[in-house]
Amino acid sequence: MSDAPTPESSEPAHDPEVLQLAAKIFDLARHGDTDTIVAYVDAGVPPNLTNDKGDSLVMLAAYHGHAAAVRALLERGADPDRLNDRGQTPLAGAVFKGEDEVIRALLDAGADPAAGTPSAIDTARMFGKEELLELFGAQ
């Protein structure tokens, strides 16, 4: 029997290098570094990768107003309606932040304004954004 310490887990998700790379990719989404995000996704990073709060790359890019990154991720198969752990969608986040170009990108990709809690429709109502309610067909 060996006295060598055993690793906590052999799962890649527990590898510090994998965790560090994932953190970098989430930061790229927050900062809208579209070309680098695309390179990682094209190299095999899942387009629906989520962080420890369930925020997808699309959610982070959408919330921070990076429409080009949102479009690029959606074009690579990211789910426009993926809920985070709080039941929020990227569309509701974009409505909350007033990111009109991101809202259009998500709607063009088929995002559902009624999905999530609160939904994009609920968020638009909360902030009196009549033009968005009209856009969502929720008047």
pLDDT in tens, 36-63: 999 999 999 999 999 999 999 999 999 9
Give the domain ranges of the chain.
14-135
CA atoms within 13 A on the CB side of 131: 5
The pLDDT tens digits of the residues spanning 70-111 come to: 999 999 999 999 999 999 999 999 999 999 999 999 999 999
The type of residue at 115 is A
Give the per-residue pLDDT at 12: 56
- Per-residue model confidence (pLDDT) at position 138: 85
Cα separation of 99 and 94, whole Å?
A: 5
What class does CATH assign to 14-135?
Answer: mainly alpha
CA 40, CA 73: separation in Å to the nearest integer? 11
